[in-house]
Chain A
Amino acid sequence: MSRLNVILVVAVIAGAVVISSFGSSVMQKLQAGFLSAVSPFLKTGSAVQRQLGAMGEGLKTLDQLEDENQRLKTENTELRATNQILRDLEAENSKLRSALDYRKRSIFKLVPARIISRDASTWWNTVKINRGFEEGLEADQPVLTDVGLVGKTTTVAKNESIVLLISDESCKVAAKVEGSNERGILFGRRTGEGGAPAEMQLNFLSKKANLQPGQRVFTEGVSKGTSIGVFPSGIFLGTVKSFQARPLDGQAIVEPAVDLSSVEDVFVVVDGAK
């Protein structure tokens, strides 16, 4: 290798080291720029994928459509009835609140978003959604569905964002178990650890917790400023699958409430989350 080539290699490596010393916010800005650049391709690809999926789903028999129609009618009736009960409860609740001069509860502002690509990398559990800072999104905002928590935003571009799923090992959530005083930190399992890939572990429980399969796990919602406290309290995370006492603490394996491999439409909590 000639001397010039050696100098070129050293210069490139030195340049790479300089780039690696950039702060995380600079790196996120660069990634946001990249996301914006690839966005038209991702959106087009996502639309094509959806149309192909819809074509397959569209081929239903009349019997199937009739069944579906019947099921939706029943569901509609049930929801109307539930709504009526909830309206009564709301009225009663507001009467009691005003009687007690209770502080008004903050209401979440939700931005609907659609997943445009998922599982892009080998080692991280992330998805990309079609909403960004133009719609009011910021980093570290909770992402959920009507069923439960999905994850949180990390890098936010103009009209796209990356969502770190709760099944990822680096996404930590303060959690509490229904019907007990147990509290712990929930995060994804390591690659290849355990059974289903989306299973999560709830650590730092007491050794005597003795949790039963089927017990539900919710977000704890700890104070702002901590990495695990970005989620509002009371969001459904999943159900306990098993529990084991370890030498120093108890650990529960939790199945996520949301099917993270097939979820398509989500909501980002942009206000009143903390």
Chain B
Amino acid sequence: MKLTVGWLSLALAIFLALIVQEFIPALRFFHGARVFLAPMLFCYGALAMPFWAMLLMAIYTGFLIDLAYLNVPDGHVEIALGWSIVVFVFFGLFAHGLQPAFAGGRWWLHVLLSAIFTSAFLALQFVMICFRRQGIFFNETVAWRIAAPGLFAAVLAPLVHLTVVKLAPYVRGPTRLEPYRIDQP
């Protein structure tokens, strides 16, 4: 029951994050970088949930992101639906491997992985677009647009963590910082 509530809450949070992002303008100071929250939220699930739930979350998050950002100029899809699922499965596998350390109290792992996953996802997306268009290139703007969302995710990650800890007692979860796993009785 607790796991179901946790999974559904996270799924709802990812859905809402994708909508809220629509209304956060591009940050001109950071070369038009955007706030991108979904990988950070997924990362929490991957660190806190059992393996099968993490896989379900990867399918859900990847599919939703692909639907939200599908670009079809002239009837040709630039990045096919489904590729984000594969990426999130690999992110999830990596995060899941660090679950014992996270459960042991290393909350900063979520901060670190959120930054890495967010920037890595955008970098992969950029590389795929480049291959579809006129070959790869790199400049300062591209660097900022990849790095800045990772930094924002890292800044916001502790808030997510704190929210989960505060809400945990209401779903009969952990009432203190340890243990973090939301599937534990």
Chain A interface residues toward B at CB < 8 A: 5, 8-9, 12-13, 15-22, 24-25, 27-28, 30-31, 34, 38, 41-42, 45-46, 49, 117, 119-124, 126, 128, 139-140, 154-155, 164, 168-172, 190-193, 197, 227
Contacts and interface: CB of A to CB of B under 8 A. Distances in A.
A192 B139 contact: yes
Chain A CB within 10 Å — which of B21, B62, B142 has the most?
A: B142
A31 B31 CA distance: 28
Interface of B: 18-23, 25-26, 31-34, 36, 51-52, 55, 58-59, 62-64, 67-78, 80-83, 85-86, 89, 93, 122, 125-126, 129, 133-134, 137, 139-142, 145, 149
Given A13-B86, A41-B19, A45-B19, A139 B75 contact: yes
Given A122-B36, A122-B149, 10 more contacts: A13-B89, A27-B81, A49-B23, A117-B23, A119-B34, A121-B68, A122-B34, A124-B71, A170-B71, A170-B133
B142 A171 contact: no
Given A30-B67, A117-B22, A122 B74 contact: no
B74 to A, nearest CB: 4
Contact of B71 (A41, A49, A126): A126
Given A8-B55, A16-B86, A121-B69, A191 B19 contact: no
Contacts of A45: 19-20, 22-23
A45 B25 CA distance: 13
Nearest to A35: B67
Contacts of A169: 133
A121 B67 contact: no
A34 B81 CA distance: 13
Contacts of A49: 23
Nearest to A19: B82
Contacts of A191: 126, 139, 141-142, 145
